């Protein structure tokens, strides 16, 4: 059975001018796309199947990400259903010179595992084997309860 830490993915994108809105910060649509893509990667790693987005919870934009900053997207599976997986999603801005990071965006998403005919297929049970995994799951559930 896959563990929570097996699904943990961290991905980086440098915000370029073509990612920016009229005020010189990452366009929210680009950040949402990055969250969805990395979330799907975590879901597929967990399910060993193609996973499609079923729902995005509210996406909270806490602060902007400037052109030239690095966007660090983190995702991991923290809960499962019969055919679905719930994924925690966060984005941080990272200074490329210092590595200093600051949380910018938070959300959760539900992905459904599908077979070759695009029919929902069962997913395995999630295991949490380490203290770090327990801490990540608790943080995801706590942030989910805020909605």
Strands 101-114 vs 50-56: parallel, antiparallel or unpaired: antiparallel
**Burial readout 4-17 (b: 16 or more C-beta within 10 A, e: otherwise):** bebbbbeeebebee
Spans of all domains in the chain: 4-145
From first to last of its 147 residues, what are the pLDDT tens digits of the chain? 789 999 999 999 999 999 999 999 999 999 999 999 999 999 999 999 999 999 999 999 999 999 999 999 999 999 999 999 999 999 999 999 999 999 999 999 999 999 999 999 999 999 999 999 999 999 998 887 665
Total-model pTM: 0.92
pLDDT of residue 146: 61
CATH architecture for segment(s) 4-145: Roll (3.10)
Structure tokens at 52: 């499609």
């Amino acid at each position: 059975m896959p563990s929570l830490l097996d699904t943990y993915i961290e991905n980086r994108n440098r915000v370029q001018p073509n990612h920016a809105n009229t005020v010189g910060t990452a366009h929210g649509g680009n950040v949402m796309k990055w969250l969805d893509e990395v979330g799907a990667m975590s879901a597929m790693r967990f399910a060993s199947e193609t996973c499609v987005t079923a729902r995005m919870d509210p996406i909270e934009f806490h602060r902007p990400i400037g052109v030239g900053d690095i966007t660090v997207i983190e995702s991991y599976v923290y809960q499962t259903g019969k055919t679905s997986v719930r994924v925690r999603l966060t984005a941080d801005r990272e200074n490329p010179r210092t590595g200093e990071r600051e949380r910018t965006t938070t959300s959760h998403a539900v992905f459904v595992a599908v077979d070759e005919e695009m029919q929902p297929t069962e997913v395995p049970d999630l295991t949490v084997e380490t203290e770090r995994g327990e801490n990540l799951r608790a943080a995801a559930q706590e942030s989910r309860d805020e909605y």
